[in-house]
Structure 1
């Protein structure tokens, strides 16, 4: 991880949505498991882990080579429903592998 790009927002600052309205989507073809997303996320949405064999086997050949070269590490979102759409993960990812996807409508008026 490049320390000069790392920052951690205060929980709740610059958050644009209620929890669960948006969820991060990680592109397995691009993610190198560097972990910047996990460091900057104020809601602990991300963990870095080893890509399971089944998911790895379904990747195209070039993506397999890239994932293998980085130790099969990738970002997972076990706490995706806690996302508040602050965008810190999107900004921190050097591979541009994360986007925020709306999964439901906000309950705010």
Structure 2
């Protein structure tokens, strides 16, 4: 009896930025060899979702934070995680149920 074994797709990882911790230092941007991250300005809608300490931190740093602009290019090397002084960057499994991750998880 001959059969095929279905191979599961390899798990994809994407960087997650904790908006309440990020101070926009940019070490993660420099450390990423794939160009996954970039610095940008936190929008008004996102600012409102921050905790009080996150709002104070954001205001103090002109609302500059890291953003995953090319998450599909992440190779999960962990360099961004290692260099973040605020420990605001983590790698999370791409989730097909999350609209922001759907295309990445299927990649």
User: TM-score, normalized by length of structure 1?
Assistant: 0.75
Q: How does 1:1-109 map to 2 (within 5 A)?
A: 21-103=12-94
Unaligned runs of 5+ in 1: 1-17
Find runs of 4+ consecutive structure 1 residues off by over 3 angstroms.
none
Q: Which has the larger radius of gyration?
A: 2
Counterparts of 2:83 and 2:51, CA distance in 1: 26
TM superposition shift of 1:51: 0.4
CA distance in 2, matches of 1:45, 1:99: 13
How far off is 1:29 after superposition? 0.3
DSSP 3-state at the match of 1:38: helix
Pairwise CA RMSD of aligned residues? 1.7
